[in-house]
Structure 1
Amino acid sequence: MNRSDLGIGFIGAGEISILHARALKEIDGAHLVGLWNRSEQRAIQRAREEGCKRYATPDELVNDPDVDAVLVMTNLETHLEYAELAMNAGKDVLVEKPLCATVGEVEQMKRTAVASGKICMPGHNMIHEESLKRAKKIIENGDIGDIVSCYVMYNIQHSEERASTLPGVVRHILTHNLYTMMYLAGRPVRVQAFKANRHYEKLDQEDITLVNVELENGGLAHLCASFAADDLSPAPWTFTVKVIGTAGTTHYTYNDWVEVKQGISHSHTYTAYQETITNEVRHFVELCRSRSGQPLSDLEDAIWAQKTTEAVEKSIADGLSVEVK
């Protein structure tokens, strides 16, 4: 192992850490040094699986000179605490989505990043798909004309048992829809949203939300985040992104690459999902090593995603369209 490689530490060793560890194995110039997890038993298991160090505390991890950068993959309520701990110890950080529980927390994370001079990159992995990068390029070039509408649709059934370990889809999945929409079609100015529970018997949270969005550029967007059911149609909206312009259209779907084997959360393995995480971590490593360039989606985008999430929640609660500001 070359010490010139970027040493990575994981704060949090849940299921998503498996995908990030796979990503690091594919990336030249970086390696996993070690991890910490709130559950010691889980930490022991994951450290054994990855052949890496296990730290007794997050402080021990961030103060290890072999650790150059940290991936924060705990529950969202602790993201600010651990991201600040790492940045104040001189480490760059990649923080899993959703970044924080409130707009104020994301703003505080940004202030700490600026004050420390460290990279703080949101874990907005979906836009690290090569097809969406190509879509963004032709949209920015004006090749599809003015944006008429944008659709970001997610329909992957999650069991009640699996969903009980996660926030509702507004917090856990809709973040993907929002930052993807903003990456391609721009920021929102107004939302109207609905949510429902269509298949949980005991769990008291939504399994589907639908959101209509007025965009800053005058176009409209429609977003769906659903754990309620798989889309079994011939052209399914498993995870689908479409932008329609006055002079053309872009389209991307998970279903171009499907493996008939159980995924961590999904009934099938959608190959592109792992690739988005690998590409995201590769981009983070490149930023850390080069000290130049910008994340594809930055903390200001994360602030707007959180503002929009909170506007969606207010729209659902009050039954009104809500301005995003």
Structure 2
Amino acid sequence: MAKEKLGIGFIGAGEISILHAIALREIPNAELIGLWNRTPEKAIKRAQEEHCKRYDTAEELVKDSSIDAVIINTNQETHLKYAKLIMEAGKHVLVEKPLATTVADVEEMKAISQKTGVLCVPGHNMIHEESIKRAHKLVKNGDLGKIVSCYVMYNIQHSEERASTLPGMVRHIFTHNLYTLMYLTCSKPIRVQGFKANLHYEKIDKEDITLVNLELENGALGHICSSFAADDLAPSPWTYTAKVIGLGGTTHYTYNDWVEVKKGISHSHTYTAYQATITNEDQYFVNMCLYGGEPLSTMDDAIWCQKTTEALEKSIAEGLSVEIR
């Protein structure tokens, strides 16, 4: 008989863990068993908030037989280390974005998943937004005709203090938006050219905006804007917008259809649909663990996304249009 409820652990108890915990409270066939964080004080606080166990080490967490799957919420430099620990303990794993720091790291994650027979799933919540999934289906079925272009635009100002805890735009928001573009267009980039700048940070040496143009395998062109530099205050803002234009039709999605006037974890307002995407993502992961199925975003997608990210960095550094191989 299949297990009725999936026991989940968190490695990393930072801000994104709060959103995953909210999601799990809404998922009837999943339960947060416990968490570990490298800073004990934060782990104690978060475990008290979630009424769950706190483990002294990540190794102790993965050895707990009541935990079936783990969500990694740590910084990207540690993702391979923890993914390997989890999968070799026979547990499924959802790895928060960005997935890893190098193509080799992602390839190793994929190899360990295949060897151990457990799931390793890239954590890209926006592709679990219902409107994005509907657009993907229209493109996949040919209802929009030949795809001409795709735009994924993100313009939400983040304070320097908040940005200091995150990678720059290339490794953070661009990576996320690239997954969305690949999913929307049912294609992948074959050439990239981009730019980055720091326009409002005074203390940290990171870019706060990157603009990227992409040539896709299906012949379409893509454009991604990822910016912590400024809010878009226009009447029809590109706060977060994803658009696909085809010869036979167009799709459009925006955060701004659902806005609450209260501060979010990172944002000046609460964009209601964002939490829903994480809840949908976690529900999909839970169902795959319990009942089987294929992820919406695969490890092969993750490998190509990492190749594109590294090609973008080369493009920015050398002022080139770079082919992705």
Query: Counterpart in 2 of 1:104?
Result: 104
1:1-325 pair list within 5 angstroms: 4-185=4-185, 186-290=187-291, 292-325=292-325
- Aligned equivalents of 1:100 and 1:197: distance in 2? 24
Residue 143 (structure 1) shift: 1.1
SS of 2:93's equivalent in the other structure is: strand
CA distance in 2, matches of 1:4, 1:183: 30
**Alpha-carbon displacement from aligned partner over 1:168-221 (angstroms, at most 9, x marks no partner):** 011011111110111011100000000001101111110000000000011100
Q: Deviations over 1:226-276 (max 9, x none)?
A: 000000000001110000001110000000000000000000000111000
Shift of 1:148: 0.3
Q: TM-score, normalised by structure 2?
A: 0.98
Q: Deviations over 1:60-102 (max 9, x none)?
A: 0000001010001111000000011000001000000000000
Count, aligned residues: 322
Percent sequence identity is: 71
What's the offset of the Cα at 1:151? Answer: 0.1
- CA distance in structure 1 between the aligned counterparts of 2:177 and 2:97, rounded to whole angstroms: 12
Q: Which consecutive residues of structure 2, in runs of 5 or more, have no partner in the other structure?
A: none
Q: Distance in 1 between matches of 2:128 and 2:152?
A: 15
Q: CA-to-partner distance for each residue in 1:92-139, whole Å, 9 max, x for gaps?
A: 000000000000000000000000000111001110000011101111
Letter in 2 for 1:261: K
Structure-2 separation of matches of 1:86 and 1:231: 41
* Matches of 1:293 and 1:30, distance apart in 2: 17
Structure 1 residue ranges (4+ consecutive) displaced by more than 4 angstroms after TM superposition? none
Distance 1:192 1:256 in 2: 31
CA distance, structure 2, for counterparts of residue 192 and residue 169 of structure 1: 15
For 2:103, give the aligned amino acid.
V
**How big is each residue's C-alpha offset from its partner over 1:9-29, in whole Å with a ceiling of 9 and x where there is no partner?**
000000000000000000011
TM-score (norm 1): 0.98
Tell me how far apart the structure 2 counterparts of residues 28 and 175 of structure 1 sit (CA, whole Å).
31
Deviations 1:19-54 (A, max 9, x none): 000000000111000000000000000000000000
Supply the distance in 2 between the matched residues of 1:274 and 1:141 (Cα, whole angstroms).
Answer: 28
Question: Which amino acid in 2 is paired with 1:95?
Answer: V
Q: Deviations over 1:259-316 (max 9, x none)?
A: 00000000000011100000000000000000x2101001111111111100110000
Code of the residue aligned with 1:151 in structure 2: it is: Y
CA distance in 2, matches of 1:147, 1:213: 14
